[in-house]
């Protein structure tokens, strides 16, 4: 072994020893297992090096250490973290892991390998992948915690990666991991992830803010000293055991403020919270926190609108604290956070820290609730992936409200939730039969938006049934998916009548009731779904008499093809069919002429268009500005027919949008938010590419007409950082 190898080996062992020391409570058996995992991982990764050149094993050791030290996880997680990359990157198989470490460890490693498959090896996070990640999350929460530790270490060592890779990883971190860390209450990790993301996405701004923060450190310290000295004196006199900390805002949160509130650094650098952490027995913590509140407000005038009591009612990520904002002598508002040591540790390290304090049970319940909610949404048999992202994001990012049942039970809901959401939160049946609610004793409709503190009583009737428009009244994923599934069942029942009607019709025509004929009929009436067609037949929305013009050959339906070869043929046909207008009316003449919107220019209502009679494929509608139009018109004038859009359009049309801009923090998020909050706009696909700080996004949306599209383009243009927004013709 060379000297260099000797040194490397010693460094690896040192890193391992550091890890072992960070696992605070462990039995002899635990130590043995951790050692075994270390040896297995060391051997499996022995020929691998990281981009930085160091032996790969440093990475799993570091991840394991983050799990133990910064998240407070135990032996199982440390073992899993040590092994987290083995199945994906080395000769080891899941069966090997299971044989050596048992089923539990194998399950977690399997989850980690799968997540890595969906996130790390795809170009951009797609909705469907997002869903998979969360499905895995619901199996074992350790999977997500270890993945967060993995991501944190990768972010800390991101400097050795290529620029494009850095940008991809940093934006993903901001989009997915930081919110997850936040939701799980891992405050420190969330802050570090955000700061590191900013550092790589916008290095200049990051440098600028952190340099200014360092320079102004002394001013802040002086302020904290003066501000807290009278409080300290009083607390000492009263015999409190406490610590006062002044924590400046993170680089990222300052950056965010500068950007969203458009204020200079100088106006916000001294925004920070003073935190008073009490060393107190759990039974007394609430009362003691309020005593301290009373001391603080003896010296400083509180803002009555800014009192937050998260001790009596913890946030659903487990956060407990008492916040007040008071006026300092220099005329600045200062937030004061009062909490016990236990609460402080949970606030910074999240759920794992809580396991140490078993006597209080609120937190685990809340976390369980959250996971259960996600599971409910995921279990919806037919979730539309994009809608799911919206639902999830809503539940993830939105502030929550807390409301009460008539018996005083607490329910937390996302802000914007209505009485109908609440009804579904209570029980699916209560939701399905809800006819109204009483909020604080007053009668309100289903769509009534709830506020924190409301007491809600649901009024039901067994005659009530969920309706289509209910989907507009609810915001929770749970209520949405339940309503949809009831509506779908109902549609099926109605469709059964339609099926019978159609069968009779086919019988009378001597046509067979088979799949092929059904296809033909669906094509003719332009339906994509069988259920929809049968449903509409049942309600007489489909005129079955039109089938009479079909020929039947040996039980097979045949559409009577009229050959149209020129605009003269077409005009003749128009007259035959009693049309007064000499043009094709798109949207009205659907069942009479065979026409399609051309995919080359992808026209939408409002566009100026013409029809082109093709030889085999009916009439194709092009925009007059289509790049192919000049050639078609000049060479085949006799095949051109006039066309216009019908006045009423209920159909949505697919249009492409291309956005370029500066790759700022959260910009993708903002863009998708605008699109999904626009009424009636649905995204079909979205992809973003980023290169050297400039991103390019392609989005396909469903819109009604050009006006609709133009207003969407305008809104997107106004997003900070967006350089251009244009409509594109081709489906990418
Ligand atoms: Mn890793």
HEC string of 338-355 equals EEEHHHHHHHHHCHHHHC
The pLDDT of residue 121: 52
Axis-axis angle for helices 285-299, 217-237 (nearest 10): 110
* CA–CA gap between residue 177 and residue 171 (Å, rounded): 10
Provide mean pLDDT across the span 503-509: 90
Q: Measuring CA to CA, which residue among 142, 127, 138 is closest to residue 376?
A: 138
Q: Are residues 702 and 592 in the same domain?
A: no
337, pLDDT greater than 90: yes
- What total number of domains does the chain contain? 6
Give me the residue label for tokens 């050149």: 53
Which residues 6+ apart lie within 8 Å of 674 measured at CB? 712, 715, 716, 719
Domain presence at residue 205: no
- Residue 439 tokens, joined: 């909020």
Choice between 682 and 699, residue whose per-residue pLDDT is larger: 699
Catalytic residue among 30, 89, 120, 128: 89
Distance 88 CA to ligand 1 centre (A): 10
462, pLDDT greater than 50: yes
Q: Are residues 547 and 597 in the same domain?
A: no
Q: Which helix (H) or strand (E) holds 436?
A: strand 434-439
Q: Are residues 329 and 191 in the same domain?
A: no
Provide mean pLDDT across the span 144-165: 90
Give me the residue label for tokens 């082109």: 612
The answer to whether the beta carbons of residues 274 and 336 sit under 8 Å apart is yes
Distance 695 CA to ligand 1 centre (A): 27
pTM of the model as a whole = 0.51
The CATH number of residue 343's host domain is 3.30.460.10
Q: Are residues 244 and 145 in the same domain?
A: no
Helix (H, G, I), strand (E, B) or coil at 63: helix
Query: What count of other Cβ atoms lies within 10 Å of the Cβ of residue 501?
Result: 15
pLDDT tens, position by position, 407-440: 777 777 888 899 999 999 999 899 999 988 998 8
39, pLDDT greater than 70: yes
- Residue 164 tokens, joined: 């494009």
The CATH number of residue 416's host domain is 3.10.20.30
The pLDDT of residue 396: 45
pLDDT tens, position by position, 235-269: 999 999 999 988 777 889 888 888 877 778 877 76
Q: Are residues 356 and 380 in the same domain?
A: no
Question: Quick one: DSSP state of residue 452?
Answer: T
The residues placing their C-beta within 5 Å of ligand 1, an ion, are: 85, 150
Provide mean pLDDT across the span 126-152: 68
The answer to whether the beta carbons of residues 604 and 614 sit under 8 Å apart is no
Domain presence at residue 424: yes
Distance 158 CA to ligand 1 centre (A): 12
Which residues 6+ apart lie within 8 Å of 147 measured at CB? 112, 115, 177
Distance 350 CA to ligand 1 centre (A): 22
The string over 372-403, giving b where at least 16 C-beta atoms fall within 10 Å of a residue's C-beta and e elsewhere, is: ebbebbbebeebeebbbbbbbbbbbeeeebbb
Domain presence at residue 353: yes
C-alpha torsion 692→695→698→703, nearest 10: -170
Distance 152 CA to ligand 1 centre (A): 10
Q: Are residues 239 and 172 in the same domain?
A: no
CA angle 177, 180, 186 (to 5 degrees): 100
Boundaries of domain holding 443: 364-484
Distance 239 CA to ligand 1 centre (A): 48
Domain presence at residue 673: yes
Q: Are residues 357 and 369 in the same domain?
A: no
Domain presence at residue 191: yes
In the annotation, is 305 catalytic?
no
The answer to whether the beta carbons of residues 581 and 645 sit under 8 Å apart is no
Instruction: From 303, 337, 363, give the residue that closes a domain.
Output: 363
Distance 85 CA to ligand 1 centre (A): 5
Pairing of strands 584-586, 640-645: parallel
The pLDDT of residue 694: 78
The pLDDT of residue 183: 67
The answer to whether the beta carbons of residues 145 and 64 sit under 8 Å apart is no
Partner residues linked to 401 by β-bridges: 413
Choice between 254 and 82, residue whose per-residue pLDDT is larger: 82
* CA–CA gap between residue 600 and residue 621 (Å, rounded): 10
Strand order through the sheet with 584-586: 584-586, 640-645, 609-613, 619-623, 595-597
The CATH number of residue 48's host domain is 1.10.3210.10
In the annotation, is 8 catalytic?
no
Give me the residue label for tokens 């394991």: 64
- Residue 140 tokens, joined: 């074992």
The answer to whether the beta carbons of residues 425 and 449 sit under 8 Å apart is no
pLDDT tens, position by position, 623-646: 888 888 878 877 787 888 888 887
Dmax over Cα atoms in the chain, in whole Å? 102
- Find the distance separating the first CA and the last CA of the chain, reported in whole Å: 55
The CATH number of residue 717's host domain is 3.30.70.260
Catalytic residue among 88, 532, 594, 696: 88
Distance 117 CA to ligand 1 centre (A): 12
241-245 long-range CB contacts below 8 Å, 24 or more apart?
A: 241/278, 241/279, 241/280, 242/276, 242/277, 242/278, 242/279, 242/292, 243/276, 243/277, 243/279, 244/274, 244/275, 244/276, 244/277, 245/274, 245/275, 245/277
Distance 177 CA to ligand 1 centre (A): 14
Whole-number percent of the chain with pLDDT over 70: 84
The pLDDT of residue 391: 46
Instruction: From 442, 460, 484, give the residue that closes a domain.
Output: 484
Instruction: From 319, 338, 363, give the residue that closes a domain.
Output: 363
Distance 104 CA to ligand 1 centre (A): 19
* CA–CA gap between residue 687 and residue 699 (Å, rounded): 6
Distance 59 CA to ligand 1 centre (A): 7
The pLDDT of residue 421: 95
Distance 113 CA to ligand 1 centre (A): 10
Distance 161 CA to ligand 1 centre (A): 14
Per mean pLDDT, which of 126-140, 156-170, 420-434, 630-644 is the most reliable?
A: 420-434
Q: Are residues 16 and 132 in the same domain?
A: yes
The pair phi, psi for residue 309, each rounded to 5°, is -105, 90
Q: Are residues 402 and 416 in the same domain?
A: yes
Least confident of 32-46, 147-161, 198-212, 339-353: 339-353
Q: Are residues 243 and 341 in the same domain?
A: yes
Q: Are residues 194 and 48 in the same domain?
A: yes
* CA–CA gap between residue 661 and residue 658 (Å, rounded): 10
Distance 547 CA to ligand 1 centre (A): 62
* CA–CA gap between residue 107 and residue 94 (Å, rounded): 9
Average pLDDT, the chain: 81
Domain presence at residue 324: yes
Q: Are residues 91 and 186 in the same domain?
A: yes
The pLDDT of residue 307: 86
């Amino acid at each position: 072994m060379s000297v260099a190898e000797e040194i490397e080996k010693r460094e690896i062992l040192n890193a391992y020893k550091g890890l072992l020391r960070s696992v605070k409570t462990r039995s002899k058996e635990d130590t043995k297992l951790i050692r075994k995992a270390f040896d297995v991982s060391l051997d499996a990764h022995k020929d691998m090096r990281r981009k930085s050149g160091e032996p790969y094993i440093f990475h799993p050791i570091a991840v394991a250490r983050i799990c133990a030290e910064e998240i407070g996880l135990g032996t199982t997680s440390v073992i899993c973290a040590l092994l987290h990359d083995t199945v994906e990157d080395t000769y080891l198989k899941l069966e090997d892991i299971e044989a050596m470490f048992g089923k539990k460890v194998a399950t977690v490693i399997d989850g980690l390998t799968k997540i890595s498959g969906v996130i790390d090896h795809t170009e951009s996070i797609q909705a469907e992948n997002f869903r998979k990640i969360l499905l895995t999350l619901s199996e074992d929460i350790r999977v997500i915690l270890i993945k967060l530790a993995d991501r944190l270490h990768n972010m800390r060592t991101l400097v050795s990666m290529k620029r494009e890779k850095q940008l991809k990883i940093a934006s993903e971190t901001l989009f997915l991991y930081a919110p997850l860390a936040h939701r799980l209450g891992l405050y420190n990790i969330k802050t570090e992830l955000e700061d590191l993301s900013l550092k790589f996405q916008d290095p200049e701004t990051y440098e600028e803010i952190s340099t200014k923060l360092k320079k102004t450190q002394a001013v802040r310290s002086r302020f904290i000293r003066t501000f807290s000295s009278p409080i300290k004196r009083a607390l000492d006199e009263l015999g409190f055991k406490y610590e006062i900390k002044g924590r400046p805002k993170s680089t990222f949160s300052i950056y965010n403020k500068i950007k969203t509130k458009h204020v200079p650094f100088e106006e916000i650098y001294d925004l920070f919270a003073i935190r008073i952490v009490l060393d107190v027995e759990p039974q007394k913590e609430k009362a003691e926190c309020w005593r301290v509140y009373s001391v603080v407000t003896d010296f400083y005038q509180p803002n009555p609108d800014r009192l937050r009591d998260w001790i009596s009612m913890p946030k659903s990520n487990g956060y407990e604290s008492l916040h007040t904002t008071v006026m300092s002598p220099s005329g600045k508002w200062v937030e004061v956070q009062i909490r016990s040591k236990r609460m402080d540790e949970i606030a910074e390290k999240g759920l794992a820290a809580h396991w140490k304090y078993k006597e209080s049970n609120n937190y685990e319940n809340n976390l369980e609730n959250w996971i259960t909610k996600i599971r409910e949404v995921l279990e919806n048999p037919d979730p539309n992936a994009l809608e799911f992202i919206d639902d999830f994001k809503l539940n993830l990012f939105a502030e929550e409200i807390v409301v009460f049942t008539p018996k005083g039970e607490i329910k937390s809901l996302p802000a914007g939730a209505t009485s109908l959401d609440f009804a579904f939160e209570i029980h699916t049946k209560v939701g399905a039969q809800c006819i109204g609610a009483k909020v604080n004793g007053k009668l309100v409709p289903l769509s009534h938006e709830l506020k924190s503190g409301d007491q809600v009583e649901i009024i039901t009737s067994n005659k009530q049934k969920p309706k289509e428009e209910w989907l507009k009244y609810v915001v929770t994923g749970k209520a949405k998916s339940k309503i949809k599934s009831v509506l779908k069942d109902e549609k099926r029942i109605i469709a059964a009548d339609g099926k019978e009607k159609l069968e009779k019709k086919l019988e009378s025509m001597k046509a067979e009731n088979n799949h092929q004929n059904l296809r033909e009929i669906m094509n003719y009436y332009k339906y994509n779904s069988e259920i929809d067609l049968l449903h509409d037949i049942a309600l007489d929305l489909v005129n079955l008499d039109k089938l009479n013009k079909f020929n039947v050959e040996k039980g097979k339906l045949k559409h009577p093809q009229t050959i149209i070869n020129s605009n003269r043929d077409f005009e003749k046909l128009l007259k035959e069919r009693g049309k007064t207008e000499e043009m094709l009316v798109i949207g009205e003449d659907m069942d009479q002429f065979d026409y399609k919107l051309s995919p080359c220019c992808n026209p939408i209502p409002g566009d100026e268009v013409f029809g082109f009679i093709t030889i085999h494929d009916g009439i194709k509608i092009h925009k007059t500005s289509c790049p192919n139009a000049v050639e078609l018109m000049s060479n085949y004038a006799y095949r051109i027919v006039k066309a216009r859009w019908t006045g009423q359009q209920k159909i949505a049309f697919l249009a492409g949008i291309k956005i370029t801009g500066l790759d700022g923090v959260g910009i993708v998020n903002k863009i998708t938010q605008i699109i999904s909050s626009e009424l009636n706009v649905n995204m079909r696909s979205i992809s973003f590419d980023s290169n050297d700080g400039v991103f390019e996004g392609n989005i396909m949306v469903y819109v009604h007409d050009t006006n609709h599209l133009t207003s969407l383009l305008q809104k997107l243009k106004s997003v900070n950082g967006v350089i251009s927004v244009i409509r594109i013709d081709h489906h990418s």
